[in-house]
Structure 1
Amino acid sequence: MSMCEHIRLMAQYNEWMNTRLYDAAMSLPADEVLADKGAFFGSLYGTLNHILLGDTIWLQRFATHPAAHSSLDPVRAMPRPFTYDERQGDFLALRERRAALDRVIVAWAGELTEADLGHVLKYNNIKGTPFSRSFSALVMHFFNHQTHHRGQATTLLSQAGVDPGSTDLLMLIPEA
């Protein structure tokens, strides 16, 4: 599997898992989704919101890549988040933004070429500190960050008595 094929698989996994998590969260009363459970971002909403903001921030950085992937045009038009915990409206609004962003991620993953991955991306973090890092490594970080925090969201759902079902990437890896 090439690096681009792996990225497309990760984009598909991201969309699949987010759909499962949001569907599972919809089975909870709104106050349970918002309740502070002592997680790193407080609540299930806070955790899912953080993933969305992190994805937005990284995609806006990726949108500066010289390849100028047209699939990232919607992200270029979004206001820039200034923190990793800016509230994105109620849970339904968060879910709608998540679904729209996941469609962008899948389209962007489909546009990437192996040549794109060799780029060194220069960007500033949210505090303004400049960095210069391998684009391919940053893309891997992007997907790893999602997976890490979705694990926290899955734990919060499990603690609330909701089983989101299988969460393994293995479910999407094609048979050889």
Structure 2
Amino acid sequence: MKRTEQFRLLAKYNEWMNLKLYEAAASLPAAARKADRGAFFGSLHGTLQHLVAADTIWLRRFGSHARFAQVLADCTALAQPPSLQGEEMAFGALRERRVFLDRQILRWTDALSEDDLDQTLQYRSMKGAPGSRPVDGLLLHFFNHQTHHRGQATTLLSQAGADVGATDLLILVADL
């Protein structure tokens, strides 16, 4: 499997899991979504908000590269989140932003070439420190970060009594 195909699979998994998370989260009262459960970002809502903020930050960074500027123009037009916690958003607005971002990620990964993955992205951290890394490694980080925090979100949902169902990437891998 080519690297581009692997990233397209990860983008599809990302969208699928986010739909499942938000569906399960929507089944809870707002107070349960916002209850501080001691997670990295406190609540389920805070965790989902962090994922939206981090994805926005990274998509804006990727969109700053000339090779990706056109396909990610809608992402670079978004405001830079003020922190890794992001801006406070109501659940409905957060869900809409998540769907928007996931569609952008799918569109971008569908447009990626193997040569694109060998590009170097120069960017600045949230603290202003310069970074310069290969796009393929940054994409691995991007998707791994999402999986890490979605794992936390599924635990928070379980603690609140909501079942996300099956979460394995294997479900989306074609059976031979």
State the alpha-carbon separation in 2 of the partners of residues 58 and 86 from structure 1.
Answer: 13
- SS of the residue corresponding to residue 122 of structure 1 reads strand
In structure 1, what is the equivalent of residue 83 of structure 2?
A: 83
State the alpha-carbon separation in 1 of the partners of residues 6 and 88 from structure 2.
Answer: 30
AA paired with 1:8?
R
AA paired with 2:11?
A
TM-score by length of 1: 0.97
Q: Is the 8 A contact 2:81 2:87 kept in 1?
A: no
State the alpha-carbon separation in 2 of the partners of residues 152 and 161 from structure 1.
Answer: 14
In structure 2, what is the equivalent of residue 150 of structure 1?
A: 150
Alignment of 1:116 with 2:116, yes or no, is yes
State the alpha-carbon separation in 2 of the partners of residues 157 and 29 from structure 1.
Answer: 12
In structure 2, what is the equivalent of residue 103 of structure 1?
A: 103
In structure 2, what is the equivalent of residue 42 of structure 1?
A: 42
State the alpha-carbon separation in 1 of the partners of residues 60 and 100 from structure 2.
Answer: 15
Q: After TM superposition, give the deviation of residue 161 of structure 1 in Å.
A: 1.2
State the alpha-carbon separation in 2 of the partners of residues 26 and 105 from structure 1.
Answer: 23
- SS of the residue corresponding to residue 82 of structure 2 reads coil
In structure 1, what is the equivalent of residue 141 of structure 2?
A: 141
In structure 1, what is the equivalent of residue 173 of structure 2?
A: 173
In structure 2, what is the equivalent of residue 74 of structure 1?
A: 74
In structure 2, what is the equivalent of residue 13 of structure 1?
A: 13
Q: After TM superposition, give the deviation of residue 93 of structure 1 in Å.
A: 0.6
State the alpha-carbon separation in 1 of the partners of residues 81 and 56 from structure 2.
Answer: 8
- SS of the residue corresponding to residue 23 of structure 2 reads helix
AA paired with 2:149?
H
In structure 2, what is the equivalent of residue 130 of structure 1?
A: 130
Deviation string 1:38-91 (CA, Å, 9 cap, x unpaired) is 111000000000011110101111012221353211101111113111234211
Q: Tell me which moved more, 82-91 or 137-146.
A: 82-91
Segments of 4+ moved more than 2 angstroms? 68-71
Q: How many residues align?
A: 176
RMSD: 0.9
Q: Is the 8 A contact 2:67 2:116 kept in 1?
A: yes
TM-score by length of 2: 0.97
State the alpha-carbon separation in 2 of the partners of residues 166 and 62 from structure 1.
Answer: 31
State the alpha-carbon separation in 2 of the partners of residues 71 and 121 from structure 1.
Answer: 16
State the alpha-carbon separation in 2 of the partners of residues 151 and 10 from structure 1.
Answer: 15
